[in-house]
């Protein structure tokens, strides 16, 4: 990506629209309390850094959203020079909430260029809509600058965090999904960058081992 993305949204909702969003607004608040961190398990070789890819971002929020009765949708709109993505939340009551449209120009006029723009747009539209903010690695590529946004400080654990015990517990997961679930739990309790990094590295190693044995 060599150009920046532009966002557009609707105007302030009127009283009738606010009333029609009562159930979904309440459910979204409940869902956000259970959002997991978007684990940075993908590599950006250009900047030699890690970032949370689209799958990690979806995985961080979809269970909490579904548990609160909210379905996640991402609409694509027609666009000549790139892609336009709109993240929409649909509540089981029938109420909907959209997060505005995100336009990302394609770096090249070919399937690879449009596919890259679509992935970028879906990921950042989802993060903006859900309020999750992992480090902006490939966003730096889009702007042409190598800047890293510091991840938010995790909450302080009431008891000292035992990294070795946490890594052993994560390793005992029977499936990759269980490993990632345990990793998210440990990630929230960890309090230093080194602990977060060790957890992420372990998840990557276990994923590689699972693929090799498949």
> What residues contact 67, with CB distance under 8 A and at least 6 apart?
31, 34
Per-residue pLDDT of 7-16, as tens digits, reads 454 445 555 5
Query: Contact at 8 Å (CB) between 1 and 82?
Result: no
pLDDT for 65 beyond 90: yes
Angle at 60 (CA atoms; ends 58, 62), nearest 5 degrees:
55
> So what's the pLDDT on residue 141?
44
Mean pLDDT, rounded, for 18-44: 78
Could you tell me which of 119, 123, 117, 122 has the C-alpha nearest to residue 135?
Answer: 123
Whether the predicted pLDDT of 2 surpasses 50 = no
Mean pLDDT of 84-101: 94
């Amino acid at each position: 990506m060599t150009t920046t993305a532009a966002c557009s949204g609707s105007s302030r909702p009127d009283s009738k629209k606010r009333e029609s969003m009562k159930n979904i607004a309440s459910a979204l608040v409940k869902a956000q309390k259970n959002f997991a961190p978007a684990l940075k398990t993908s590599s950006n070789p250009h900047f030699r850094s890690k970032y949370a890819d689209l799958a990690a971002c979806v995985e961080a929020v979809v269970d909490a959203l579904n548990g609160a009765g909210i379905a996640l949708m991402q609409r694509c709109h027609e666009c000549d020079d790139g892609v336009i993505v709109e993240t929409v939340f649909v509540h089981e009551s029938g109420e909907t909430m959209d997060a505005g449209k995100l336009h990302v120009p394609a770096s090249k006029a070919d399937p690879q260029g449009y596919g890259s723009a679509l992935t970028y747009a879906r990921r950042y539209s989802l993060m903006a809509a859900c309020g999750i903010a992992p480090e902006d690695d490939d966003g730096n590529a889009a702007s042409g600058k190598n800047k890293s946004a510091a991840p938010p400080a995790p909450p302080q654990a009431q008891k000292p965090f035992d990294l070795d015990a946490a890594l052993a517990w994560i390793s005992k997961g029977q499936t990759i999904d269980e490993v990632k679930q345990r990793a998210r739990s440990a990630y929230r309790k960890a309090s230093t960058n080194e602990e977060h990094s060790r957890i992420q590295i372990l998840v990557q190693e276990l994923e590689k081992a699972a693929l090799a044995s498949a």
